[in-house]
Chain A
Amino acid sequence: MDPLKDAPLVETALVVLPHRVVWHEPAGRTWGSIPDSRELWSILWDHRSELVGVAHTHPGLGTARPSIEDLTTFAACEAGLGRRLFWWIVTADRCVKYQFRGPDRLDYVGDEDPFHSWLDELRARSSSGDP
């Protein structure tokens, strides 16, 4: 993969379950955002007993930090589900897994987590996706 050529063009997400993923590519997503959707919440709620987490792409290269939009979504979803999840942010060349640390509700910490079977396809869908 060429990191520059294949740098994400459209943010894309997926829900990670123990043995599969569920893709989330809603209409209206852009290079820098994925819109709020009841559909994603329904996926999380329906699979709440087995959820591992959610991954989404950020544009460009290097380590991506969660935005305020990301952090408030992490916190709200976990509050709604009543449990903590992993939240991966993926750029063209890095993958970082975030999880709640606390004590503040938006205090999440990240660790490099570069080996997942879904990474290549997530980057490919992000590079080729139609907003």
Chain B
Amino acid sequence: MSGPGARVRAIWAGQDGELPQPVPFDASDAVIRESVAEAIRDGAIRGIVRDLGVDLRDFVVDRIPASEDDPIDRIFVRPKTGFGATWTSASG
């Protein structure tokens, strides 16, 4: 991993908070979701109450690279918001 890593902000149960440690900006979505879920299960995210039942399977990962205005790479884990009219197979 090069650089300081990305700060990860997560949403769960009406609360939001940041992972205590940065993660690689190019980590896979699955790895990031699992890191966040584990942190919520452990009660390790300030601002999000510990929840053993956390389920992020239909959450998406947004990546915001560092810019002039914000020199830190950022990752956001939030619920998906797409809609579709046709039945499709459920995603994992």
A residues sitting closer than 8 Å to B (CB atoms) are 11, 13, 31-38, 40-41, 44-45, 48, 56, 58-59, 64, 67-70, 72-73, 75-77, 79-83, 105
Contact = CB atoms under 8 A, between A and B. Distances in A.
B83 A13 contact: yes
B14 interface: yes
Contacts of B83: 11, 13, 33-34, 56, 67, 69-70, 73
Interface residues of B, number: 26
A41 B81 contact: yes
Contacts, number: 93
B15 interface: yes
Interface string B37-68: 00000000000000000010011101000000
B22 interface: no
B81 A68 contact: no
Nearest to B84: A69
B86 A36 contact: no
B55 A72 contact: no
Interface of B: 11-16, 55, 58-60, 62, 76, 78-91
Given A72-B58, A76-B58, A79-B12, A41 B88 contact: no
Contact of B80 (A73, A82, A83): A73
Given A38-B62, A82-B13, A82-B14, A77 B79 contact: yes
Contacts of A79: 12-13, 55, 58, 79
